[in-house]
Structure 1
Amino acid sequence: MSNTQIEKQHNWWYSQLFTNWKKFEIGYISILILLQLIVYAIVPDSVIGMISGVAGVLCLVYGMKGRKISFIFGTIQCIAMTYIAWISHAYGSFAMDIIYIISQPIGWFMWGKNEATHSFEANTRRKIFLAAFIAWIIGWFVLSMLGGQLPYLDSINFIISLIAQLLYILKYKENWSLWIIVNIANATYWTILTIQMLMGENSIGSLGANLSQVALQFALLFNSVYANKVWASGAADNEGGAK
């Protein structure tokens, strides 16, 4: 590799990781990552859970900024989350995380072709949200037949996440509205499982992993609300950094 290529690679990594950050963004990212480390310090029984939480925060934060590097952190988070979902019998989450892993290189390629965000017309947006609702009902039925935990919530993670991830890869602003729904459902889901484990009503999975997911989902919910505002304003269009 020539010196020019090395310098270009260095500039790309620096631009993706460190440029154009607001003080507010730096502050809340630091708090969200610290929260994951605190959870691990309290219940240090799942290194995988901590890795999933930190990588998940970085993935969605860089995604909020519209930067390709989010897919690198996304791959790490999805691999870790696949294991957590499997041991927790969260079969909808497990299936969705497999899809997430596959989607990461696709997203990397798509975001390299187009830095601009897009938005649907109002009528198309309503049809997409209606289709998502119907698909959620179907997913709820299927997951309940498979014996998954809390299938009405797990179906949101499976079905709505699939649609949201597709819109995210294609850079449609509406993806964040769906992620807000997913994050609320996931925060509720993992909170219920954590409470059940603390009360001795459920021994499936790991308390540390569950707690890390509670912290992660509340972090991602905050980020999704903020990202929805950033993308709606068009501020993410020029945040991609050097290619």
Structure 2
Amino acid sequence: MFLVKDFKGFTTYEKVLFAFILIAQIFILVYFWNNGEAFNTLSVISAISSISGVACVIMSAKGRLSTFFYGVIQAATYGYVSYKSFLFGEVSLQVVFGIFQFIGLYAWLKNMHSDHHTDDPDVQEVDSRGLSIRGWLITIAVTALVYVGTGYYLDNFTEAKQPFVDALSVGLSLVAQTLMTLRYKEQWILWIVINMVSIFLWARLMLQNDKLTFEGLSAVTMWVAFLINSVYGYYYWKKLQDVQVTEKY
């Protein structure tokens, strides 16, 4: 089964990153438990969101199909946590992300090659490609339009606490997810910016509420791990573009 096989061929870095987020989540849980925090459904869902999210992005960086399985879990759980935190732009984004998981799975299935790090031919990686100058211009224009439209909507028709910061994350994320589905390595440049915005979003939310929460700290930890992974993802997808089967293009 690909969910198991996709863990083959991992580098030391990838193992360390996944171990880091698991240890970080356990540490956060213990910290809040020792300080008398009452854990509830939201706390559990936050932990699931963080762990499944890291599994999703690590598999995405590796170009593995199981990224979409973990992506569905992460979209559902993170969407719920965002809803409870009044980050409505993030909620709508997760609905779109959930749909994208199935579209991406279909698109990737037709463009895979055997992983060059393992002898198991059943372990597959996606074929990556790069944007042209025209592609970059379209990407920038679409991102700007989505940002302005989303920011206006959130500011005027919702109770979002940070409408234009929220909108920046939404606009960039929609375009980055589209690039991921279409297998462009430049998606990772956008994800780097998105991760920094998201860290700021959750940190600012806790500052506004003047309260350090498990949900907020868990989300910040998750996005920090995402940021590290995004840098690695660009590096790895560039390597994929160099070693992939050229007959497919």
Shift in CA distance, 166/196, structure 1 to aligned 2, threshold 3 Å: same
Code of the aligned partner of 1:222: I
Residue 27 in 1 paired to residue 16 in 2?
yes
Q: Secondary structure at the match of 2:240?
A: coil
Q: Structure 1: any 5+ residue segments left out of the alignment?
A: 1-8, 201-205, 239-243
Is the counterpart of residue 123 in structure 1 residue 134 in structure 2?
yes
Cα drift, residue 159 of structure 1? 1.6
Deviation string 1:110-168 (CA, Å, 9 cap, x unpaired) is 11111211111123213312331242123222211123111121002212111111111
Q: Report the Cα distance in structure 1 between the residues aligned to 2:143 and 2:20, rounded to whole angstroms.
A: 33
1-side partners of 2:62 and 2:146: how far apart?
A: 30
1:81 equivalent to 2:92? Answer no
- Distance, in Å, in 2 between the alignment partners of 1:93 and 1:140 is 12
Partners of 1:233 and 1:122 lie apart in 2 by 21
With structure 1 as the length reference, what TM-score do the two structures score? 0.84
Distance of 1:43 and 1:156 partners within structure 2: 31
Q: CA deviation at 1:43?
A: 2.7
**Which residue does 2:122 correspond to in 1?**
none
For the 8 Å contact 2:172–2:194, the answer to whether it is kept is yes
Among all aligned residue pairs of Structure 1 and Structure 2, give the percentage whose two residues are the same amino acid.
26
Give, in angstroms, the shift of residue 235 of structure 1. 6.3
CA distance in 2, matches of 1:142, 1:62: 33
Cα 1:236/1:37, change in 2 over 3 Å? farther
Query: Superposed, which structure 2 residues align to 1:1-243 within 5 Å?
Result: 9=1, 12-17=2-7, 19-43=8-32, 45=39, 46-115=43-112, 116-145=127-156, 146-197=158-209, 199=210, 207-234=213-240
d(CA) in 1 for partners of 2:196, 2:108: 27
Distance in 1 (alpha carbons) for counterparts of 2:166 and 2:243: 32
- Unpaired stretches in structure 2, ≥5 consecutive residues: 34-38, 113-126, 245-249
Amino acid of the structure 2 residue aligned with 1:88 = S
Q: Residue 165 of structure 1 contacts residue 175 of structure 1 at CA under 8 Å; is this kept in 2?
A: yes
Mean CA deviation greater in 32-41 or 216-225: 32-41
RMSD of aligned Cα (Å): 1.9
What TM-score comes out, normalization by structure 2 length? 0.83
Question: Number of residues paired by the alignment?
Answer: 221
Higher relative contact order (CA 8 A, sep 6+): 1
